[in-house]
Amino acid sequence: MTHQRVEAVGWRRPSAWMAIGLIVAYLVFYLLVGWLITTIFAGEIDTDNVLSSAPSILFAMALPIAIGAIALLIVTVRLGLLGKIFGPQPIRGRGWMWIGPVLVVAAIIAHLTGTDWSSWTGGQIAAMFVLGGCVGIAEEFATRGLVVQILRDARHSEKFVAAISSLMFALMHSVNLISGMELTTVGATVIYTFAFGMCMYLTMRVTGTIWAAIVLHALTDPTTFLSSGGVDTTVGTSNSGSAIAALITIVLVVFGFVAALLVRGKVEAAQSAPAA
């Protein structure tokens, strides 16, 4: 049996459970890599304020995510899904779906205008945008890439694909409990990330490519950190920019949950069937 034939047999029955297993495996790998890196580079990491310096940001946050992204890339190549994930979307979006990416872009702009730039060094800012790139690639690759493709290959409707991939994306952030984050903060993060995940799914649908979701995601995290002053910290309302960002975030959350009910469509079998 050839290598290609083994892959085809292994991928013959994709399912939601396969997607869940993949995300669980990714999280376990990410946590182990993170523990190893923080052990090796403990002297470079500020555990009290991980954003306090560029090395702390890069070693504590960016590097584990980058290694996780490489692992996901290897899995994707082995499954023969790279071209399908990064190629044109097999189903396009409707006009109302543009609300998702528009809200995300509006939030990014509001965060930029609401940031106290004098409180950050050039190194911190650069490191945070490197972190954003790693997060955008890894998390979109995992959820809007692999999870969405697996669910489509399992012949699920796009409503199911959108909701489950967004839910899995949201639950990924529950691992913050392990780092000691308060339950209420983690709960709020999960609610927000579900809605944000829906907006990323809609972005992928209306633009026809996962790259648009990667770019918006890559810009969202660093601009949010810069505006709020911390990781998973609520954006304040000390100026007009941050107040607008907080308002847009509320609208985005409401829209994300409503959008989950409005998604329609299904990728036909001929479009979603994996190549042998």
Helix (H, G, I), strand (E, B) or coil at 260: helix
Residue of 65, 190, 201 lying closest to 138 (CA atoms): 65
> 101-116, pLDDT tens digit by residue?
999 999 999 999 989 8
Q: Is the pLDDT of residue 236 over 60?
A: no
Q: Is the pLDDT of residue 7 over 50?
A: no
Q: What is the CA radius of gyration of the chain?
A: 19
In this predicted structure, what is the pLDDT of residue 13? Answer: 74
Mean pLDDT of 229-248: 68
Number of H helices, E strands in the chain: 13, 0
Q: Is the pLDDT of residue 220 over 50?
A: yes
In this predicted structure, what is the pLDDT of residue 179? Answer: 73
For 266, the token pair is 């299904």
The set of long-range contacts for 4-10, using a CB threshold of 8 Å and a minimum separation of 24, is 4/80, 4/276, 5/276, 7/78, 7/79, 7/80, 8/274, 8/276, 10/79
Higher pLDDT, 97 or 270: 97
> 40-87, pLDDT tens digit by residue?
999 999 988 899 999 999 999 999 999 999 999 998 998 888 999 999
- Helices (DSSP H) in 93-182: which residue ranges? 99-113, 122-140, 148-153, 158-172
Give the chain's length: 276
pLDDT band, residue 4 (cuts 50/70/90) = very low
Mean pLDDT of 130-154: 95
pLDDT band, residue 124 (cuts 50/70/90) = very high
Residue of 69, 44, 71, 39 lying closest to 56 (CA atoms): 44
Say how many C-beta atoms besides its own lie within 10 A of residue 153's C-beta.
Answer: 24
For 102, the token pair is 């528009």
Mean pLDDT of 187-195: 94
Helix (H, G, I), strand (E, B) or coil at 256: helix
Say how many C-beta atoms besides its own lie within 10 A of residue 262's C-beta.
Answer: 14
CB 218 within 8 A of CB 136: yes
CA end-to-end span of the chain: 13
As a whole number of angstroms, the distance between CA 4 and CA 13 comes to 16
pLDDT band, residue 176 (cuts 50/70/90) = confident
Helix (H, G, I), strand (E, B) or coil at 213: helix
In this predicted structure, what is the pLDDT of residue 182? Answer: 83
Residue identified by tokens 């965060």 is 111
pLDDT band, residue 5 (cuts 50/70/90) = very low
In this predicted structure, what is the pLDDT of residue 69? Answer: 95
Beta carbons within 8 Å of 113's beta carbon, 6+ residues apart = 240, 241, 244
Q: Is the pLDDT of residue 217 over 90?
A: yes
Please provide the average confidence, as pLDDT, over all residues in the chain.
88
The secondary structure of 30-62, three-state, reads: HHHHHHHHHHHCHHHCCCCCCCCCHHHHHHHHH
